[in-house]
Amino acid sequence: MITEPLVCLLIDDDHDDSEMFQLAIERTKIPVDCIVANSAIQALKILKDDEEIIPDFIFVDLNMPLMNGKECIEELKKMGKLKDATIIVYSTSSNKQEIKEMLELGASHFITKPSDISHLEQALIECLQQKK
């Protein structure tokens, strides 16, 4: 049985965090094609320019220049092709009010960036297995 890989879009301006995220995705052993955008503006451009790209999961950092994660999520929610996409906030923040606000805005999960790749791997497995 051939299973299509999940498509994941990571929106994060921090190069080191993006690399750790991609390594953790690989370690999950779940087939995932990961697209990385280093800003919300770049991510929205990718999604608008290529109708074929419809991520199953979109991971959004909150603290980015020019357009922050909250503004990005608001724009993502306006895109009809993303109605089935799962939006997950992936941030250094652990502020309970901020978490509540992002969940109310439409994010399905909030992952606080761990310093340990094993914790990130486990959090990703829990999120990604929802669509398997």
Torsion angle (degrees, nearest 10) of CA 68, 70, 76, 78: -120
Residue 27 pLDDT greater than 70, yes or no: yes
Structure confidence at residue 46 (pLDDT) = 95
> Among 8, 25, 56, 62, which Cα is nearest to 40's?
62
Structural domains in the chain, sorted by start: 6-128 (3.40.50.2300)
Q: Does this model's pTM top 0.85?
A: yes
Residue 115 pLDDT greater than 70, yes or no: yes
Is there a contact between 71 and 40 (Cβ–Cβ < 8 Å)?
yes
Pairing of strands 86-91, 57-60: parallel
> Among 18, 6, 79, which Cα is nearest to 45's?
79
